[in-house]
Homo-oligomer: A and B are copies of this chain.
Amino acid sequence: MAESGLVEQGTPIAETRRRQIEGVASALFRERGYAGTGMREIARGLQLRGASLYAHVGSKEDVLFSIVERAADRFATAISPYLHADGMSAESRLRGMIRAHVLVLTDDLEDATVFLHEWRFLGPERRARILARRDNHEQAFRDSIAAGTAAGDFRLVDERLAARSLLSSLNGIAGWWRADGPLSADQVAEAYADLHVSGLLTEASARHSGRFQR
């Protein structure tokens, strides 16, 4: 955790403080953008003076990196059970991954939005690290699509474009879904899984899964 850049670490109180700081910062970054948010505003949101904030946090970029890295952790953890689920059909695997991704997004919209849009304001090194993690995540979806094609369940598509299209579509959910809206996160996850999987199934698999009976 040394790379998270937070000065005071390792105790439960420090951890609680860190979460508070990141919660306030994440809401501000989402609302005003990273560039439009100062350490002073973050401190004010915590009822601290600006100088006191630096006892907890090295810099604004450290806070951004910590938020973005935790979000990357959550996405990776959520899809990991599906990556080597050998007994599972390609369709079930991809559905599980879509569902897991959507539930991480909707579980914390602020962090997700910062992860999706503000990560590009990181410095070059940290930006490259987050980019590598985003690439890994995309690769997992690509592999899942390719495995489905190899198994004869999915049609032959450019899995690189299919994975990008899929992830952009899912990430868009953070822009319009609201916890108090008409659709639950589960309903959205299921509907998106249906839309995307339907576009990939071969005729035989589609018949089998009842797609054309609807």
Q: Which residues of A does B touch, CB under 8 Å?
A: 32-37, 117, 121, 155-158, 161-162, 164-173, 175-176, 188, 191-192, 194-196, 198-200, 202-203, 206, 211-212, 214
Number of copies: 2
29 A-B pairs with C-beta separation under 8 A = A32-B35, A33-B34, A33-B35, A33-B36, A34-B36, A35-B37, A36-B36, A155-B198, A155-B211, A155-B214, A157-B194, A157-B195, A161-B191, A161-B192, A161-B195, A165-B169, A165-B192, A165-B196, A166-B169, A168-B170, A168-B171, A168-B173, A169-B172, A171-B172, A172-B172, A198-B199, A199-B199, A199-B200, A203-B206
Main secondary structure of the interface of A (DSSP, over half): helix
Contact in complex: B164, A172 (CB < 8 Å)? yes
Question: What's the Cα separation between A172 and B168 when bound, in Å?
Answer: 5
Option from B36, B162, B200 in Cβ contact (under 8 Å) with A35: B36
List B contacts of A202 (CB < 8 A): 212
| Closest 7 pairs (CB-CB, A-B) | A168-B172, A35-B36, A199-B199, A169-B169, A33-B35, A165-B169, A203-B212
